């Protein structure tokens, strides 16, 4: 595709974190699953820890190579201790049973399928997702005879709300599907003894956190607790390191602002890689589309500042309001409103790049119900 992409930028950022912000050889330990809760050989750098043994930077080259290679792909630093209490107290990850994991992954895969199927039916009939220059606030097109009832219900809402919601739910469904359905065969191979436990998905943390984080902490909970944390350390660690170098606690308002700025500034730069350097048949240039994507992430920074200030004022003058059902509902409304306002920034380049040209699923239950047929890819 030419130029830089998401993966290459992520590799550069992760390399910077490991080489500049941390000293893995001195402070990192890999927590490895132990048979019967003890280490393999009882060496001094390996000690029993709740069914795990702790492996520091190995001296032997044969052990060091897999240690380093595992660290390079451990973007969430799961089952690693890194010398930071905020991270280390959550380790090691409590693994699921294979049955529990497969049950959960199957339900998530079905949920994602239904979300993509339902929203794709809406996308197919809405020119906003296909015609360049269409505003998210443009009125709905004239309904067709094949328009389903649920789409007619959505048409009663202001166009911006369903369109932004579809973008958000499709992003969630695609990421969830990718983290659930492909993992089931791997767990099955692990059950047969052909795949090690440490590389089997049931020993990893779940992809998304509890949605209650959003109602409790707003945007901070959405990005820091509920949404997947794959890029958390690659983007926020430089800000933490800068705060520590300046002697500023990340628990302070200034320190948290530095950390947040680092996270979203670098995340915006990384996601700019979704746009190829020379896109074909688009109305916007590559630079314009990259700026649209980056702006979505960069705008989260002032929103965080606003949210923190409002939360502080509310806690000062109405402490009883904190944690109440009203406060949770108000927080959810704030997050939803902000996402409806900012998500269209992502929709513009996605539309130009023809993300919605083809249905994401080969078959469609909604297609059968509405008479369009089972197969989408025809």
Give the pLDDT confidence of 38-53 residue by residue, as tens digits. 444 545 345 555 678 8
Mean pLDDT, the chain, rounded, equals 88
Half-sphere exposure of residue 287: CA atoms within 13 angstroms, side-chain side: 0
pLDDT of 376 over the 90 cut: no
Query: CB 178: neighbour CB atoms within 10 A?
Result: 13
Q: Could you tell me the pLDDT band of residue 58, with boundaries at 50, 70 and 90?
A: very high
Q: What is the CA radius of gyration of the chain?
A: 23
Checking DSSP bridges between strand 80-81 and strand 52-56, what pairing results, if any? unpaired
**Residues forming beta bridges with residue 293, ordered by sequence position:** none
Own/partner contacts of 327-330, CB < 8 Å, gap of 24 or more, are 328/215, 328/216, 329/215
CB half-sphere exposure, 294, CA atoms < 13 A: 16
Q: Where are the beta strands (DSSP E) in the chain?
A: 29-33, 48-49, 52-56, 80-81
- What is the value of pTM for the model shown? 0.88
Confidence of residue 151 (pLDDT cuts 50, 70, 90): low
Q: From CA 87, how far away is CA 95, in angstroms rounded?
A: 17
Q: Which pair of tokens denotes residue 150? A: 């649920």
The sheet with strand 48-49 has its strands ordered as 48-49, 52-56, 29-33, 80-81
Per-residue pLDDT averaged across 190-213, rounded?
A: 88
Contact of 79 with 30, CB cutoff 8 Å: yes
Cβ-based neighbours of 209, under 8 Å, separated by 6 or more: 225, 226, 227, 229
> What does the DSSP 8-state code read for residue 80?
E
Residue labelled with tokens 């890689």:
273
Give CA–CA dist 146/369, Å, rounded.
Answer: 11
Residue 38 pLDDT:
45
For 257-272, what is each residue's pLDDT tens digit? 999 999 999 999 999 9
Cα–Cα distance measured from residue 268 to residue 272, given in angstroms and rounded to the nearest whole number: 6
Tokens of 259: 């950390």
Contact by Cβ (8 Å): 361, 113: yes
């Amino acid at each position: 595709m030419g130029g830089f992409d998401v993966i290459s930028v992520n590799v550069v950022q992760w390399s910077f974190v490991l080489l500049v912000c941390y000293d893995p050889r001195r402070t990192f330990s890999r927590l490895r699953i132990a048979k019967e809760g003890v280490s393999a050989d009882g060496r001094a750098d390996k000690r029993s820890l709740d069914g795990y043994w702790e492996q520091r930077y190995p001296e032997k080259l044969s052990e060091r190579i897999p240690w380093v290679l595992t660290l390079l792909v451990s973007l969430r630093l799961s089952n690693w201790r890194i010398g930071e209490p905020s991270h280390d107290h959550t380790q090691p990850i409590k693994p699921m049973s294979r049955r529990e994991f497969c049950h959960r992954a199957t339900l998530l895969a079905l949920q994602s399928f239904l979300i993509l199927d339902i929203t794709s039916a809406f996308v197919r009939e809405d020119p906003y997702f296909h015609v360049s220059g269409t505003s998210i606030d443009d009125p709905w097109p004239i309904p067709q005879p094949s328009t389903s009832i649920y789409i007619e219900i959505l048409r009663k809402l202001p166009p911006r709300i369903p369109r932004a919601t579809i973008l958000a739910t499709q992003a969630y469904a695609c990421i969830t599907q990718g983290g659930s359905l492909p993992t089931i065969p791997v767990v099955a191979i692990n059950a047969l003894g052909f795949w090690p436990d440490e590389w089997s998905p049931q020993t990893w943390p779940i992809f998304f956190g509890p949605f209650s984080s959003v109602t409790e902490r707003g945007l901070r909970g959405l990005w820091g607790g509920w949404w997947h944390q794959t890029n958390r350390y690659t983007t926020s660690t430089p800000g933490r390191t800068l705060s520590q170098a300046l002697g500023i606690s990340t628990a302070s308002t200034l320190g948290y602002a530095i950390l947040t700025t680092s996270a979203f500034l670098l995340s915006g730069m990384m996601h700019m890689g979704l746009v190829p350097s020379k896109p074909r048949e688009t109305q916007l240039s590559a630079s314009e589309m990259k700026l649209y994507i980056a702006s979505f992430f960069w705008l989260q920074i002032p929103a965080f500042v606003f949210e923190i200030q409002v939360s502080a004022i509310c806690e000062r003058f109405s402490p009883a309001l904190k944690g109440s059902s009203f406060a949770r509902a108000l927080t959810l409304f704030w997050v939803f409103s902000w996402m409806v306002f900012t998500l269209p920034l992502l929709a513009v380049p996605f539309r130009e790049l023809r993300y919605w040209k083809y249905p994401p699923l080969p078959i469609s239950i909604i297609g059968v119900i509405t008479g369009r047929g089972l197969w989408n890819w025809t």
